[in-house]
Amino acid sequence: TWVNARSITDEFVKWLNENTSRTTIKQITSADVNAYIAWTIERSPTKSHRTAQNKHARVSQFLKFCGHPCTSSKDAPRCPKNTPVRVYTEEELATFFAACTPLQALTYRTLLKTGLREQELVYLERGDIDTAKGCLHIRAKRHYGFSPKTWEARMVWINDELLAELTEHLKSHKHP
């Protein structure tokens, strides 16, 4: 959290130095913050208002901490509370999996059936597959520099079909 906050405030200060003549925090206006937020949206590949909203909150907190609350959450960019989720049909999934190699299909089925985050799957090891309990253990891998989001070590239960596929895969692949 600290690293993220520091990164955003550093970006904001750099933007201020490059785009305004402000030399003190007291000179910063809500218009400056809004212009910075507009800049972050414009340079974002996805034009994400949610990221801009988060950055606005960080900058507002920073300015408030410094004794200059020139902006508030009501000034933040608005974004939908519940973005519609596209759900694929069985036919679309069948077409997708038919185009995959066996390893790709297993990878995507594991993501689909477990809800793992991408990095959790990337750092999954042989020892994380618990065939006796029918689950995957999600835990930190210090040797890879990986830790689950919020250090949340947990077990993810998997159905018998996926467990059988993973077990079969392990028979022919010796990589950890």
Instruction: Please tell me the predicted confidence (pLDDT) of residue 84.
Output: 79
- Specify the range with the lowest mean pLDDT, choosing from 15-24, 57-66, 69-78: 69-78
Q: Which of 19-28, 60-69, 79-88, 96-105 has the highest mean pLDDT?
A: 96-105
Tokens encoding 159 = 């159905």
**pLDDT tens digits for range 72-100:** 878 877 776 777 788 999 999 999 999 99
Helix (H, G, I), strand (E, B) or coil at 136: strand
Report the side by side order of strands in the sheet with 129-130: 129-130, 135-138, 154-157
Instruction: Please tell me the predicted confidence (pLDDT) of residue 130.
Output: 93
Strands (E), 66-167: 129-130, 135-138, 154-157
Tokens encoding 153 = 């070590």
